[in-house]
Amino acid sequence: MSRIGKKPVALPKGVTAEIKGQTIEVKGPKGSRSFTATDDVTLSLEEGAVKVTPRGQSKRARQQWGMTRSMVENLTVGVTEGFRKELEIQGVGYRAQMQGKTLKLALGYSHDVNFETPEGVTITAPKQTEIVVEGIDQQLVGQVAANIREWRRPEPYKGKGIRYKGEVIFRKEGKKK
């Protein structure tokens, strides 16, 4: 039995869910999102909550049970609170700033890196050394943050680069004479 799948997903105030076959659409104050479940699970609305149940006892049905419940919960969190990833920039001369919908990064290359903000995500740079990625789609927010981080990953000797806020970089000792 899936411990995660057994729990129904409660719908907070101001959030509505609509189920059409295997597709669930959740609408809230920040927007609307939808998810199509596989045929291995059944979605149902009961007393202001979404319940996910497996069809049969096959291994795939049990796997999809917990995953589908997590996806539905992520939809509700996304349309109510949204998701947020914070990045820090460390290094002399490394900085970020927003110009319209373009994030300009100075990362020690011979040129500035221009990162276009994709649809469905907002990027802000409150300080020159901070970047905040926000949106209602958890997967998209995480992917955009990872794409920004990929331009200059933190290196293990001096720790320079773009890192997630609170990320610990294991430092290496340099050469010894």
96-115 as b/e: b if 16+ CB within 10 A:
bebeeeebebbbeeeeeeeb
Q: Does the domain made of 83-164 have the CATH classification 3.10.180.10?
A: no
Q: Which CATH superfamily is domain 3-80 in?
A: Ribosomal protein L6 (3.90.930.12)
pLDDT value for 4: 87
| Residue 46 CB neighbour total at 10 angstroms | 8
pLDDT value for 37: 93
The rounded average pLDDT for each run of 10 residues, N- to C-terminus, in the chain (177 residues) is 85 92 93 93 92 92 92 94 95 93 94 93 94 95 96 93 93 87
The domain spans of the chain are: 3-80, 83-164
**Is the CB of residue 33 less than 8 Å from the CB of residue 16?**
no
pLDDT value for 3: 84
Rounded Cα gap, residues 140 and 55, in angstroms: 30
